[in-house]
């Protein structure tokens, strides 16, 4: 970094400005791309932008799209609410699905989110959606293991192995 380059807090903006600086120093686009770990196309775009708009064109741009529905304070509360588990909000089972997260956000903050978007909300606070295990509630794991240990070998042996068994393809 030279004394002519301003201090930049966004690394992407720094990279764009560094591209322009190196270009002005006589570096080839291919060399700049290699040095900064970007494509030649990106270097070309940034140089053209700087030629047309000056270094102001390389500055960080505000994000496009709608503003966030939840405030920063509300987003900060999400991990604490999710830690209470889904049962605390009237759901059966402790699993957080995107549908449940959407319902909880609506209940707590009055903000509606589509369940598909809730996976991004969860990811932003370092959670992931969970899929409920779909098993019969009357399932008896001990009896299943005993059957596998005692009955399955007998069936397998009587049919000449798995390959010949009608259920084993």
pLDDT higher than threshold 70 for residue 7: no
Of residues 1 and 62, more confidence is placed in: 62
Of residues 119 and 132, more confidence is placed in: 119
Q: What is the mean pLDDT of residues 119-147?
A: 78
pLDDT higher than threshold 80 for residue 164: no
pLDDT higher than threshold 70 for residue 6: no
C-alpha 109, offset from chain centre: 23
Q: What is the pLDDT, as a whole number, of residue 26?
A: 96
Task: Quote the pTM value.
Answer: 0.45
Can you list the alpha helix ranges (DSSP code H) found in the chain? 11-24, 29-36, 40-53, 72-83, 98-109, 115-124, 141-158
pLDDT over 90 for what percent of the chain? 33
Q: What is the pLDDT, as a whole number, of residue 160?
A: 62
Unique residue bearing structure tokens 């720094």: 14
pLDDT higher than threshold 70 for residue 166: no
Residue 79, phi then psi, degrees to nearest 5: -55, -40
Interatomic CA distance for residues 52 and 106, integer angstroms: 46
Interatomic CA distance for residues 23 and 78, integer angstroms: 46
Q: What is the pLDDT, as a whole number, of residue 118?
A: 87
What are the tens digits of pLDDT across the range 23-54? 999 999 999 999 999 999 999 999 999 999 99
Ramachandran class of 36: left when φ > 0, alpha when ψ lies in -120 to 50, beta otherwise: alpha
In Å, what is the CA distance from 110 to each residue of 55, 78, 128, 134? 43, 14, 22, 30
What are the tens digits of pLDDT across the range 124-133? 878 766 665 6
């Amino acid at each position: 970094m030279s004394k002519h380059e301003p201090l930049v807090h966004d690394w992407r903006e720094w990279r764009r400005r560094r591209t322009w600086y190196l270009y002005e120093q006589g570096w080839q686009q291919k060399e700049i791309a290699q040095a900064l770990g970007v494509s030649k196309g990106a270097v070309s775009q940034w140089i053209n932008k700087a030629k047309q708009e000056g270094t102001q064109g390389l500055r960080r741009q505000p994000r496009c799209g709608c503003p966030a529905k939840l405030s920063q304070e509300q987003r900060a509360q999400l991990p604490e609410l999710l830690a209470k588990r889904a049962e605390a909000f009237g759901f059966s089972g402790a699993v957080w699905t995107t549908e449940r997260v959407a319902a909880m956000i609506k209940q707590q903050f009055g903000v509606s989110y589509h369940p598909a978007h809730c996976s991004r909300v969860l990811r932003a606070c370092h959670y992931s959606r969970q899929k409920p295990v779909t098993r019969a509630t009357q399932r008896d794991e001990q009896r299943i293991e005993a059957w596998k240990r005692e009955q399955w070998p007998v069936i397998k042996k009587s049919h000449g192995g798995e390959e010949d068994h009608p259920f084993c393809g």
